[in-house]
Amino acid sequence: MAASFYRTVLPLLAAATLAHVPGCAASSLSVRFDVYRSPLLGLPGEEESIALLGFNGTDLALNNLTGFLFARALVSDSTLTAIEMRPVLRTLSRHPHEAGRIPDSLALIVGREINADITLVGDLERAYTETYGEVKVFREEAAMEVGLGRTDIKIVNKSYIVPHIDQTAVMTATLRAYDVGSNELLGSFSVTETESYRTVLPDPVESPPEGAVPVEIVSPMLTEVIARRIVGRLMASIVREETQVTRRLVPAGNRGGISAAREGNWSGAVAIWEGLVEVDPNNAEAWNNLAIAYERSGRLTDAAAAYRSALSSRPSDRTIQVNSRAFGLPEAH
């Protein structure tokens, strides 16, 4: 995993421009910084361990192939902390369940037993068809022409019918990610891939079926190609991408914190705002600012707790609502 999810703070908007924001204090300071966010997992925690439980579906061989390829890709990615598939399957085997049917609740139970932070469980749907076809091709061949006591050789284009079968596979994978500690669904991601494979037949087929015919088995080469594509796209939904976020700091009774943030001294800002909330646990502005400072410093668990404290102290504050929602906390009702 990368050493830090956050890079050096970018220049504060318009050299630390102050902007009026309704619902909080008279002015606020917008700050921008880079974070690494996963399309499926959202903002990462510190060294989160990920466990893949496997894929559900009626085609057990396809479930196993896709699960194996995906587990190997997870473990091979140096930016992720993935648990090897063998201990996951060993723990899963201790719990009664049908092959190809792993309930999400069981995925969470296994995740706790193997000390995973995040569990992944997926569903696979596939449809295989075969379509018969014929193609007319022309080949140059030598032909003898006899006449008037002489034999000539000429090159002619001769037509042939080449019969074939096109196998087509359509696969849809849905991956769900759960936070093991809270049992919350972090996200769901679905992808669909299609691929075809043509097999040339030695002879035409008499009275072939018309159109696409559903089949249960296709070429192993076809299933592996499409499974690898599915895994590649699922991995892209997990791997963290750099993105820029904007948060608003607000005056919280001590201008030193804002000044420190303006200068890029986030450790100093953290110390100031921690002192403020220790003296006044209901200081919503200080909690908001402390949450941003924690987030900027990569202390995401602390940031989430601080955002919740800010919302608890002042649930109707528009600035706090915007910041916490952008961070990834669900809206309070």
Q: pLDDT category, 84, cuts 50, 70, 90?
A: very high
Q: Cβ of 275: how many Cβ atoms within 10 Å?
A: 15
Judge contact between 173 and 124, C-beta under 8 A.
yes
Q: What would the mean pLDDT of 236-265 be, rounded to a whole number?
A: 88
Q: What would the mean pLDDT of 41-46 be, rounded to a whole number?
A: 72
Question: Is the model's pLDDT at 226 over the cut of 60?
Answer: yes
| Least confident among 96-100, 234-238, 325-329 | 325-329
Task: Give the 3-state DSSP-derived string for the chain, with helices as H, strands as E and coil as C.
Answer: CCCCCCCCCCCCCCCCCEECCCCCCCCEEEEEEEEEEECCCECCCCCCEEEEEEEECCCHHHHHHHHHHHHHHHHHCCCCEECCHHHHHHHHCCCCCCCCCCCHHHHHHHHHHCCCCEEEEEEEEEEEEEEEEEEEEEEEEEEEEEECCEEEEEEEEEEEEEEEEEEEEEEEEEEEEEECCCCEEEEEEEEEEEEEEEEECCCCCCCCCCCCEEECCCCHHHHHHHHHHHHHHHHHHHCCEEEEEEEEECCCCCHHHHHHHHCCCHHHHHHHHHHHHHHCCCCHHHHHHHHHHHHHCCCHHHHHHHHHHHHHHCCCCHHHHHHHHHHCCCCCC
> Mean pLDDT in the chain?
86
pLDDT tens, 268-306? Answer: 999 999 999 999 999 999 999 999 999 888 787 788 899
**Is the pTM higher than 0.85?**
no
- What per-residue string of b and e applies to 40-54 under the rule 16 or more CB within 10 Å gives b? bbbbbbeebbbbbbb
Tally of CA atoms within 13 A in the half-sphere of 282 that contains its CB: 1
Q: What does the pLDDT read at residue 331?
A: 63
Q: What does the pLDDT read at residue 38?
A: 85
pLDDT tens, 96-148? Answer: 999 999 999 999 999 999 999 999 999 999 999 999 999 888 777 776 776 66
Question: Is the model's pLDDT at 154 over the cut of 80?
Answer: no
Determine phi and psi for 75, rounding to 5 degrees. -65, -35
Judge contact between 163 and 132, C-beta under 8 A.
yes
Q: pLDDT category, 27, cuts 50, 70, 90?
A: low
Question: Is the model's pLDDT at 9 over the cut of 60?
Answer: no
Q: In what order do the strands lie in the sheet with 241-249?
A: 18-19, 28-37, 241-249
Q: Cβ of 26: how many Cβ atoms within 10 Å?
A: 9
Q: What would the mean pLDDT of 183-207 be, rounded to a whole number?
A: 93
Q: What would the mean pLDDT of 146-157 be, rounded to a whole number?
A: 70
**Rounded Cα–Cα distance for residues 140 and 284 (Å):** 85
| Least confident among 53-62, 172-181, 200-209 | 200-209
Determine phi and psi for 234, rounding to 5 degrees. -65, -40
Q: In which residue are the tokens 């502005």 written?
A: 285
Q: What does the pLDDT read at residue 50?
A: 96
Q: What does the pLDDT read at residue 14?
A: 31
Q: What does the pLDDT read at residue 155?
A: 75
Q: What does the pLDDT read at residue 81?
A: 92
Q: pLDDT category, 161, cuts 50, 70, 90?
A: confident
Question: Is the model's pLDDT at 12 over the cut of 70?
Answer: no
Q: What does the pLDDT read at residue 142?
A: 73
Determine phi and psi for 69, rounding to 5 degrees. -65, -40
Q: What does the pLDDT read at residue 2?
A: 42
**Rounded Cα–Cα distance for residues 172 and 233 (Å):** 11
Q: pLDDT category, 329, cuts 50, 70, 90?
A: confident
Give residue 156's identity as a one-letter amino acid code: V
pLDDT tens, 241-250? Answer: 888 889 999 9
Task: Give the 3-state DSSP-derived string for 231-247, with helices as H, strands as E and coil as C.
Answer: HHHHHHHHCCEEEEEEE
Q: What would the mean pLDDT of 227-238 be, rounded to a whole number?
A: 96
Give residue 109's identity as a one-letter amino acid code: I
Q: pLDDT category, 23, cuts 50, 70, 90?
A: very low
Beta-bridged to residue 176, according to DSSP, are 121, 188
Q: Nearest Cα to 55, choosing from 190, 146, 184, 164?
A: 190
Q: What would the mean pLDDT of 149-173 be, rounded to a whole number?
A: 85
Q: What does the pLDDT read at residue 148?
A: 64
